Amino acid sequence: MDRPSSQRSEPREVLELRRLREDQPDLASAADLQIQLLLLQRRVQSRVPLPKMNLESGYLDKALAAGKPILVFEQVPIDWSDLRFLIRSTAEAMRSHDAIETDDFRRVDVLARDAERLPAAIRNWYEAARPASSGGGEIATAIAGLEPLLLQAMRPFLSRCADAVMARTVFQGWSEGTCPLCGGEPDFSVITPAAERMLICARCVSRWRFHQLACPFCRNADRSKITSFATRDGLYRLYACDVCERYLKAFDGRHAPRPVMPAVDAIATLTLDAAAVQRGYR
């Protein structure tokens, strides 16, 4: 491969992941997989159209005031042949890094080939994760366990929606622990230079402001029941809740040399995950 030109066209995240795998060889396999997924997603993302929704700021803010995530499934601009490609390629990439069980790989392959069943399965994946008051519920057995893979495959479509909506609203007034756009849960957060905490949706990567310390999963705000610690370099923080026993990682933008990059920071903090799990959090 022509190295200089391929580097020039590489996204910043990929360059950061390459640096990470050099600095921390233990993370090489996870970083390589992430690079592969990012490049796959980028191929599709550039041609995803705007979401099929009213994008006027006034309309969005009014919709948000109703307290429910504003992006309904029909508005997600999914191209089904692109999605099938992403599902298959994500599964292949995960298999080559031993990141998927053989049985799950087979189930995914069957699902991606079934043009009739796929839309209902994806709708179920999208809606099941929403809060119960917004249509959330049980995940179908056909896709149970495949959620992390579907999340990666759906990322280009959902992050396109998030980019479009975040260009027009900052989700002001939304104080829930779940995503104002798609209803998903956060899996990362960022502390801004003004010391505010923004949660980052695991599915669409929307960001919204949330209480500095409270647990977004159970809303516990009792300081004595939140364990928080930072990495030695001060770049990352972890908040663990002693009520629901879940945890959330944060990128501390107050001292950081670059902005938060969820795809990079998720890999860079795998040792923090291990530390949290060892202490009994999940």
- Produce one character per residue of 26-49: b if its CB has 16 or more CB atoms within 10 Å, e if not: ebeebbbbbbbbbebbeebbeebe
91 part of the interface to Zn ion, by CB under 5 A? no
CB of 167 to Zn ion, least distance (A): 15
**Does position 248 bind Zn ion by CB under 5 A?**
no
201 is an interface residue for Zn ion by CB under 5 A: yes
Binding residue for Zn ion (CB under 5 A) from 38, 122, 139, 179?
A: 179
Judge contact between 43 and 85, C-beta under 8 A: no
206 touching Zn ion, by CB under 5 A: yes
Among 48, 108, 164, 181, binds Zn ion (CB under 5 A): 181
Q: How far is the CB of 66 from Zn ion (least distance, A)?
A: 17
Cβ contact 11:38 at 8 Å: yes
Among the listed residues 107, 203, 207, 237, the single contact to Zn ion using CB under 5 A: 203
Residue 148, H or E segment? helix 147-166
Stretches 15-23, 108-116, 236-244, 253-261: which one binds Zn ion (CB under 5 A)? 236-244
Separation between Cα atoms, residue 6 and residue 92, nearest integer Å = 23
Angle at 83 between CA 77 and CA 88, to 5 degrees: 170
Among 45, 220, 227, 231, binds Zn ion (CB under 5 A): 220
Contact 14, 37 (CB under 8 A): no
Positions in the binding site for Zn ion (CB under 5 A): 179, 181-182, 184, 201, 203-204, 206, 215, 217-218, 220, 241, 243-244
